[in-house]
Chain A
Amino acid sequence: MAYELNGETYAADEEGYLTDLSKWNPELAALIAVDEKIDMTDEHWEVVNFLREYYDEYQIAPAIRVLVKAMKKKFGAEKASNKYLYELFPYGPAKQACKIAGLPKPTGCV
């Protein structure tokens, strides 16, 4: 599949994950989020931006545990739980937030 934005086409795999990570931009993220039925709020962006920072350093999305801990340090305890992340990204923070952040889907027994 592919996303269309401002006359440009962005290639994605069958599930909607971008095939070229470098093409990601916030506007495109908002468009992917619409497909995911997610209304992007500041709280969503906090997670998406953290995922992108982590990915830049480690070439993979963080473990949920690591994400929760980082959120706690950055944004406080009320934003640091599995439950909070699932409220933001009901299909699972790892997969859904990664898709919006333009990162590859975590694979394996997850």
Chain B
Amino acid sequence: MAKVDILDRAAGEELPDPMEMPALCPGAMAQSNPYLAQPAHNEALGFPGELIEDWHDVAIAKMGELLGKYRSLKVYLDSCVKCGACTDKCQYFLGTGDPKNMPVARQDLLRKVYRRHFTLAGKFFPKLVGAEDLTKEVLDDWYSYFHQCSQCRRCSVYCPYGIDTAEISMAAREIMDSIGIGQKYCNEIIGKVHKIGNNLGLPKPALASTLEDLEEEVYDDTGVKVRFPLDEPGAEILLVTPSADFFAEPHIDGLIGYAKVMHEAGVKWTLSSYASEAANFGMFIGSYEQMRQVAQRIRKAALDLGVKRIVVGECGHAWRVAYSFWNTLAGPWDFLDPNYPVPQHICEFTYDLIQKGKLNFDKSQNDHMTLTFHDSCNVARASRMGDMPGGQFEIPRAVIKAVCNNYVDMAEDTIREATFCCGGGGGLLSDEIIDIRKKGAQPRMRALRQVVEEHGVTHMAAICAICKAQFTKVLPEFDFARDTIVSVHQLVSNAIILTPGPDDDEDEDDDAPDGAPETEDDED
């Protein structure tokens, strides 16, 4: 267990290397299976409720359909030369030693069936080319091992052919959904988005009440009335953020940070109860149609509210979907203001204001911390920020450095495009597979341990709701405090100096007409 390699270390012994090659343990994780979706979860998304009788033929036909639709999938399945560059690049392999968690082996689970049915050699001489039939045992392997891939794309960075295991995992999951093998975590959640508008299942009155509470809290803390507007037509900006930001810690501190930045920017902004979710789990299950439906909610909210800009909160895969796919899924966005990025990341938004000198900070408010930054996989390897290459790495760091005095990066081969997945991405953030989540987190935890011991790092910031929830859960397993993980905009929130407003002294509870403009900002 990962915990042992830290606790059992003798004094003076070297820290474990995050990239250390594990001893091979064939089959170690074969029993790791997330809960199957119940028939109601599958049917709500238009999938068969449970495993259908002619599953084999339907699965092969679906594979054929995907090969026809996605040229990339065929290229990825054809072009692997078994060079081995990817083998030790996956955090799930590094954490488990199970050879089927080597990216090439994971791909081969699908590739061998592809060869059997879609290549001439595989049809006639299957044994010679590693082609195999899709048996129930192979299907079981698919379910297990394609749910030990977080679609983080780390392996693809090192593949000389650029083979993207994430796309292969997505295809496998889509095939499984088409025959009634859905994963509960993802499918139940997508159903909630269709029905209620967010992953959490947070209805509008609960959202409104939570936001009111936050307004009160920020006022109590700072003496400044910072608004958290909901469903306000005519706002300039629609902020779409993961619903975890309305619920979990430290996510909600990030949300408070966004609101404070909006307050200082002096723009009219709003959240939407209809599009109260930035996350889009349609991507995790490889379903274009589900992705489209989820993304369309944001388009509708933007049109209904008449906004001119869309800003996306701290959510890794949401930013991938927004940045890379929104245009096809829910565009054209010609009704939005072209003078701003469409869409814009909250870090870009804040960074832009910092560049223009519109935000004032008291950095000493974060002096009790020494920060490092965990690049979230989908932001790092599947999107960009700003107008320069690598902006997705530099902009969040620039924001942190603008609000904190103490910052140290983790080892170079564990950050930026080489970053690890937190261990819970791609639909793996489910309690019953906590074992693979812990093991997948091990390389990041080791990299964190290095900067903690060598540079006195106390906290790690991230811009992804999944990363934050995953680390909150696994940090204690590696002897770190749960609240070692923080939101980037939580740091912004700590340091930002708020401009008092004219109504700060008004008591909200009674409509006293006497609104003395004099204000007192009692933020310490």
Q: Which residues of A contact B (CB under 8 A)?
A: 14-15, 57-60, 62-66, 69, 82, 86, 92, 94-95, 104, 106-110
Contact = CB atoms under 8 A, between A and B. Distances in A.
Contacts of B198: 108
Contacts of B246: 63
B249 A82 contact: yes
Given A60-B200, A108-B189, 14 more contacts: A14-B35, A58-B206, A62-B210, A63-B210, A64-B247, A64-B248, A66-B213, A82-B483, A106-B200, A107-B199, A109-B199, A109-B251, A110-B200, A110-B244
23 contacts: A14-B35, A15-B35, A57-B205, A58-B203, A59-B206, A60-B200, A60-B202, A63-B247, A64-B247, A65-B214, A66-B210, A66-B213, A69-B217, A82-B483, A94-B248, A106-B200, A107-B200, A107-B201, A108-B189, A108-B198, A108-B243, A109-B279, A109-B465
A9 B315 CA distance: 41
B482 interface: yes
B259 to A, nearest CB: 14
Interface secondary structure of B, over-half rule: helix
B296 to A, nearest CB: 19
B199 A59 contact: no
Interface residues of B, number: 40
Interface in B219-250: 242-244, 246-249
A23 B442 CA distance: 41
B21 to A, nearest CB: 31
B248 A63 contact: yes
Nearest to B316: A109
Contacts of A60: 200-203, 206
A108 B242 contact: yes
A110 B247 contact: yes
Given A94-B248, A109-B242, A109-B465, A59 B189 contact: no
Q: Which of B206, B214, B432 counts the most chain A CB atoms within 10 A?
A: B206
Nearest to B203: A59
Contacts of B432: 14-15
Nearest to B36: A14
Contacts of B189: 107-108
A82 B210 CA distance: 17
A109 B431 contact: no
Given A65-B249, A66-B213, A107 B203 contact: no
Interface string B156-183: 0000000000000000000000000000
Contacts of A66: 209-210, 213
